[in-house]
Amino acid sequence: MRKIVAISALCSIMVAAAVWLWWPQRSEAPRHIAGEAAVVRIAATKSLVGAPVWLAAMQGFYRADGVEAVLIEFETGPETLAAMLRGEADFATAADVPIVMRLFERPDFAIVTTLATTDVIARIITRADTGVQQAADLRGKKIATAKGTASHFTLSSALLHDGLLLADVEIVEAKPTAMLEMLGDHTVDAIAVWEPYASRAQEMLREDAVVLPDSGLYRSSFNLVVRDAFAAQHPAVVKRVLHALGSTMVFMQAHNTEAYQIVSEWLRPFAFITEEGWKEQRYGLMLDQTLIVTLGDIARWATRHHLVESAHSPNILQHIYVDALVAIKPDTVTIIR
């Protein structure tokens, strides 16, 4: 079930204004983009990789840039994208896999920026009684995951690393909260799920939790996307949102411990995030060539495993909206066009 969250600033505007002094000053990135306050709706997941979108609201950075942000909470990336495409939101946050899956169906949205990258966006967790210690041991096992998400792709990558395919296991489609119940009541042997649900699973199982090694084959990205129509009609607002998020990133870098404490408190009692888990996320606005390569790999994976109806992959470059980030932070755009 979605939750609509209108977050007021937890810190004063003076704190937000102070961050402008840290922001790298360039002629292309003015301190303030003039214009009246605009209301924007952002469909977002309550996740560790998506923390900057929420932190920008909590710290007052949207308001400092003349934006009133209404955050609408969903459990998964596919749900945020669906809500945006139904017209219920202007922006959405999602990992790279659900973005590609949607692009096969709907070509009318684009990635505005990557918010975070990580090598461990999802984990494969099982119980000690299954005897599973590595991905190779999953053959014939029942595994719950959310199809068409980064966790699904993570599972596929782990199996491939150990010489198995998705066809060698039994996939059970489920939402993250349901996965935890299935793992706990022995309905499935393992789950592939992202944070903070992975940490919740470990807390639930305690000493019986077994976390499989990461494959190292997948550097995932978590992104902000926008509807084409909104970007065309409100380009200045898109820049304001990006500028606010850029200020958030500066705050996170300059006050890393404080940012970690704020995010940890925000996620409690939903989940407990360790400092190690926090450090696994690489936060920052960017549009780089690795994103293009990864999106292409995901498109081929989706086609090969018949996860999409169309056999024709979307033209990824047509779905990257670079103008706003180039105007705000041009040095972070390294896509070859």
Half-sphere exposure of 32 (CA within 13 A, CB side): 15
Q: Read off the tokens for 64.
A: 């400092």
pLDDT, tens digit, 9 for 90 and up, residues 163-190: 999 999 999 999 999 999 999 999 999 9
Q: Is the pLDDT of residue 145 over 50?
A: yes
Query: CATH topology of 3-119+219-332 equal to that of 122-211?
Result: yes
- For domain 122-211, give its CATH number from 3.40.50.300, 3.30.420.40, 3.40.190.10, 3.40.50.970: 3.40.190.10
- 18-44 burial, b for 16+ CB within 10 Å, e for fewer? ebbeebeeeeebeeebeeeebebbbbb
**8: Cβ contacts below 8 Å, ≥ 6 apart:** none
Q: What DSSP string describes 249-269?
A: HHHHHHTHHHHHHHHHHHHTT
pLDDT of residue 312: 81
- Tokens representing residue 15 in the block: 């704190």
pLDDT at 84 over 90: yes
pLDDT at residue 21, as a whole number: 38
Provide the CATH number for the domain formed by 3-119+219-332 in this structure.
3.40.190.10
Averaged pLDDT for residues 47-71: 95
**For all residues of the chain together, what is the average pLDDT?**
88
Q: Is the pLDDT of residue 253 over 80?
A: yes
Question: In percent, how much of the chain has pLDDT > 90?
Answer: 72
Q: What is the arithmetic mean of pLDDT over 72-78?
A: 93
Residue 268: is its pLDDT beyond 90? no
Q: How far is CA 153 from CA 4, 106, 292, in A?
A: 29, 20, 16
Whether residue 287 has pLDDT greater than 90: yes
Contacts of residues 25-29 at CB distance under 8 Å and 24 or more positions apart, as own/partner, are: 26/330, 28/326, 28/327, 28/328, 28/330, 29/243, 29/246, 29/327, 29/328, 29/329, 29/330
Which pLDDT score, from 0 to 100, does residue 133 have?
96
Residues 124-140 have pLDDT tens digits of: 999 999 999 999 999 99
Q: Tell me what pLDDT residue 215 has.
A: 82
Query: CA-CA distance, 75 to 177, in Å (whole number)?
Result: 9
Specify the length of the chain in residues: 337
Contact between 109 and 321 (Cβ < 8 Å): no
Strands 142-145 and 170-173: parallel
pTM: 0.84
Of the given ranges (38-42, 47-51, 279-283, 311-315), which has the lowest mean pLDDT? 311-315
Residue located via tokens 């926090």: 278
pLDDT at position 8: 41
Among 21-25, 191-195, 213-217, the range scoring the smallest mean pLDDT is: 21-25
% of residues, the chain, pLDDT over 70 = 88
Instruction: Give yes or no for residue 40 having a pLDDT over 90.
Output: yes
Tokens for 99?
Answer: 């973005």
Q: Which residue has the tokens 């992959």?
A: 313
The amino acid present at 305, given as its one-letter code, is H
How do the domains of the chain map onto residue ranges?
A: 3-119+219-332, 122-211
Q: Can you state the angle between helices 96-103 and 289-304, rounded to 10 degrees? A: 60
State residue 195's pLDDT score: 84
Query: Is residue 149 classed as helix, strand or coil in its secondary structure?
Result: coil
- pLDDT bin (cut points 50, 70, 90) of residue 18 is very low
Residue 52 has pLDDT above 70, yes or no: yes
d(CA 208, CA 316): 42
Q: How much is the average pLDDT of 66-75?
A: 95
